Structure 1
Amino acid sequence: MSDPYELRVGVPSVEAFRRLRTDAGLSDKDPAAVALALPNTWHGVVLHHKGSPIGMGRIIGDSGTAFQIVDICVHPAHQGRGLGARIMAALTGELERRAPASAYVSLIADGPARFLYEKFGFADTSAHGSIGMFRLMHGSHGSSGSRAEP
């Protein structure tokens, strides 16, 4: 029996990106912002099932000192089959091939996803005296504010 899942290098369309995120329970993103972001992906993968995108993951960064793994998601109907691990393996494999040995790679782990990421060598930053922080931009270009995202 052949594998019904195909992992392809690249990024999804803006529409597929937004759908994948919301289907997996992640926040939606503004279409114009997504259109700006996707071409700036350092490396991305899209997981397809019967030709339709059902999962994805991206690496963003400066190509030298700092990288962040973002947008890891798998449609709920396909979760529990090791597909998140397949996406992570592809992303970390590309980092091993192309990123400088001194690069800092970060990610944000939501809930039990931390156990998957730990299998790929990621550790809680608080164990090293650091805490993760974030800021959300609100309004038009240049305006700011910060609040926790639900």
Structure 2
Amino acid sequence: MSDYSLREELPTPERFCELREVAGMAPRTVVDARRGLSNSLYGVTMVHEPSGETVGMARVVGDGATVFHVCDMAVHPDHQRRGLGSRLMDAVADYLDEHASETAYVNLLADVDGFYEQWGFERTAPETKGMYRP
């Protein structure tokens, strides 16, 4: 694990787009990433120290008081299965513990079964349904 360092910073817009793509997430443009990343409440990256390459990321968006949305959680496939995602989520959880009041709405869209529950996240269905606008 000493080959990796956790940094409380956002990835570059270019690396953000690359990590989303290699992780199988919906693509984003660099222009949109540049604009969107600057509006983040919190960001954390995982850097592979021998190469200097950012290999993981996660961030929180929202209004900073009533709504916090965890998003863009990704680890490059070549660096998965090493606990890096857990370290990223630990940092996100620490941020949320410090900044989100007990009445704030904290959510995420889970794409990995059984991962986010260890940080206290629960499924909302059938009470609520996730929706999006294509």
Distance 1:134 1:106 in 2: 14
Q: 2:133 aligns with which of 110, 135, 139?
A: 135
5 Å-filtered alignment, 1:81-100, equals 81-100=82-101
Deviations 1:105-137 (A, max 9, x none): 110111xx231101111011015x11111113x
Deviation of residue 102 (structure 1)? 1.1
- Which residue of 1 is the match for residue 108 of structure 2? 107
Letter in 1 for 2:105: Y
Distance 2:116 2:43 in 1: 17
Distance 1:105 1:32 in 2: 27
Higher relative contact order (Cα pairs below 8 Å, separated by 6+ residues): 2
Partner-residue secondary structure (3-state), 2:96: helix
Letter in 2 for 1:54: V
Q: Which moved more, 1:23-32 or 1:12-21?
A: 23-32
Letter in 2 for 1:87: L
Structure number with bigger Rg = 1
Aligned length: 132
- Which residue of 2 is the match for residue 77 of structure 1? 78
Q: What TM-score does the superposition give when structure 1 sets the normalisation length?
A: 0.84
- Which residue of 2 is the match for residue 126 of structure 1? 125
Q: Does 1:13 align with 2:7?
A: no
Deviation of residue 46 (structure 1)? 0.7
Deviations 1:79-105 (A, max 9, x none): 111111111110011110122221111
Runs of 5+ consecutive residues of structure 1 not aligned to the other structure: 137-150
